Structure 1
Amino acid sequence: MKKPLWIFAHIPKTGGITMRGIIDSNVPSNQIYRYPLHQNQEKMIRSLTSKQKENFRWVYGHCRYGVHQHFHRSYRYITMLRDPVSRVISTYYFICSMPTNGLHHKVKKMSLEEFVTSQDPRISAPLHNHQTRFLSGQNDPDLTLAMNNLNDHFAFVGITEMYPQSVFLLNQLQGWKQTHYSKENVTKKRPKRPDISEQLTNHIRSMNELDYHLYETCKLQLHQKIKSLSQSEKKELRSFIKMQD
């Protein structure tokens, strides 16, 4: 029986570039399909031959749930979820620090509060339940669909705030070596503790109620997986976390 295709649905600003690097270091380059960023994604996938598709073991990129439909074989998804307030703040500082980003020149003139409350759909859409949107595979975020997809088709969900633990469990799942990994795409100009009011924090939370349900559910499941590790595995996990310092 042919091995399933693994798909990393990389939700922006969840630590996905680091995760891509981990996949790159464990899977031959010609067996990875890197989902393109530009507008011709669907056209490019359709242009792949059957033989090319058969050769891929992994797909990764900013692809929502549903990209498996192009490959006509069994599949398993993985993803990373992040605290929604942290993800929104990170998105702001990332755009401000990236002159090549299409929204950079507009956003760099905004305060964080102006960014969060912007009515520009190019800005506001990714700030409203975007993690649910990715996992439901719909333009309108659908929590029930996202939860069903998670339960049925996601073999692994990591948590950005528990990154070493997430990588350890993914390595274990895939049979990869537990080695040091490099943190990639960390926004350098972001303050360690952004000065954000409680009112704005609550506003971001209210914009992302569906995402918080997803996040808290998957975070609890990750804690439970760690709790169920054997004593020797827990010791190995502690060593792995120290290795990353």
Structure 2
Amino acid sequence: MQTNMSYASSTITMLSPVNVSDEIRKAGQEDIVFIHTPKTGGTNIACLMKAIGADSGSVFNHRCSVMRQEGVSPNLFKPGGMGGYPSPEALENLKAQHSPRFISGHMPTGLIEEGGLQGRYISLVREPVARAVSSLNFDYQRGYLAKEDVATYAGSTMIDNLQTRLIAGKDHMDGECTEDTYRAATQKINDEFLLVAPTEAVDAVTSVVARLYGEEKVATARFQVTGNKLYDEKSPPEHLKSILIGRNQFDTRLYKHVVKEWENFTNHHVTGGQAGNEESPYLTLPPDMLTTKAWKRLTAHEINEHNQKAGGSLLRFQQK
């Protein structure tokens, strides 16, 4: 079982800089909790905050890890599962840390209220069939899932409407996902979220988050790419697609809602920025960051040199 095998792009992308409104920039002085649904593209944001937290010391960064269970994927949510939601003891430790805090993890909302934090949530939402197929591919790649078990895994092992449930909160991780669950999720977005965006906008979200903490130029590899796939996320087999559509109808509605929310957010709060001096370095998240935990400051010239040598193939890593 390749439980710690990961892939990343060998090339590095220089993200387009952004400016954000004063209202949004102030969020960097408060606590932010990133609800990181598995396979929505959020690993890059988690890596960014690891670099910013350690490099500048301007924010306390903490990742709520999923407790490992033998033979169980850390990406898998079953009914009632809470993922990396911290224990009461761990929550007390978080409360003792200085603000601003950036806390992320595969977990439902609830941490701000329970921890008495002063801030808001952020999240990414992905088209649900593509997200579920990506999760199946990831679990297959790491040896948690056999091809002959896919239908059962998708139809009953994996919880339905995971994204709706995680945003709605802890009380919605078990039982039936209903109209009330969906209503709780959209109300949560309206009342308690700084931003929520579709996965397609992850580069822009990464730039926005960087801007909250004073980073104007960010470059990054793509992390947790699935290199050994069972199915194409965009065109899975019809029988599997039918199962996933049926089990994720509220997530489909949520995704459409989030696309509109993100458009509204960017129209009001985000404009294109200037890259500034060409020789000023980018905060760079290199392909091997998941194993080395190290970031770099590279100029555009240095990044282009790296990409010329990289060749464009995926790199395979054994995570610790």
Report the TM range for the smaller structure's normalisation: 0.7 to 0.9
Q: Residue 191 of structure 1: CA displacement?
A: 5.8
Question: d(CA) in 2 for partners of 1:74 and 1:154?
Answer: 12
State the Cα distance separating 1:235 from its structure 2 match: 8.0
Q: Does 1:33 align with 2:62?
A: yes
| Whole-angstrom CA distance in 1 between matches of 2:139 and 2:92 | 32
> Which shifted more, 167-176 or 148-157?
167-176
User: Hey, which of these two has a bigger chunk of helix by percent?
Assistant: 1
Work out whether residues 48 and 210 of structure 2, in 8 Å CA contact, stay in contact via their aligned partners in 1.
no
1:61-117 CA deviation, whole Å, 9 max, x = no partner? 112100123432312111111110011101111111114xxxx1xx22425434323
- Give the letter for the 1:129 counterpart: N
Q: Would you say 1:196 and 2:236 are equivalent positions?
A: yes
User: Aligned residue pairs: how many?
Assistant: 226
Q: 1:199 to 1:169 in 2, by over 3 A?
A: same
Instruction: Give the CA deviation at 1:172.
Output: 4.2
Distance in 1 of aligned mates of 2:222 and 2:90: 29
Structure 2: which 5+ runs fail to align? 1-25, 68-83, 276-281, 283-302, 308-320
Residue deviations 1:123-164 (CA, integer Å, cap 9, x gap) = 231xx1000110011224411111111111110112212322
Aligned-residue offset at 1:198: 3.3
What residue in structure 2 maps to residue 95 of structure 1? 139
Equivalent runs, 1:18-167 vs 2, <5 Å: 18-28=44-54, 31-38=60-67, 41-48=86-93, 52-55=96-99, 57-99=101-143, 104=144, 107-110=145-148, 112-117=150-155, 119=156, 123-125=157-159, 128-137=160-169, 138-140=172-174, 141=177, 142-167=181-206
- Alpha-carbon contact 1:33-1:56 (below 8 Å) kept: no
Contact 1:45 1:70 in 2 (8 A): no
Output one character per residue of 1:191-222: Cα deviation in whole Å (capped at 9) or x when no partner: 67366233432331221111111111111222
CA distance change for structure 1 residues 44 and 183 in 2, over 3 Å: closer, same or farther?
farther
Residues 19-66 of structure 1 deviation map (CA, whole Å, 9 limit, x = unaligned): 20122222237711221312893144245275x333561111112100
Task: Assess, with a 3 A threshold, how the Cα gap between structure 1 residues 205 and 81 changes in structure 2: closer, same or farther.
Answer: same
1:222 maps to which of 256, 262, 271: 262
Are the aligned partners of 2:91 and 2:115 in contact in 1 as well (CA < 8 Å)?
no
More strand per residue: 2
TM-score, structure 2 normalization: 0.61
Question: Structure 1 residues 77 and 187 mapped into 2: Cα distance closer, same or farther (>3 Å)?
Answer: same
Name structure 1 gaps, 5 residues minimum. Answer: none
Among all aligned residue pairs of Structure 1 and Structure 2, give the percentage whose two residues are the same amino acid. 20
Q: Which has the higher contact order (CA 8 A, sep 6+)?
A: 2
Paired with 1:9 and 1:44, the residues of 2 have a C-alpha distance of: 20
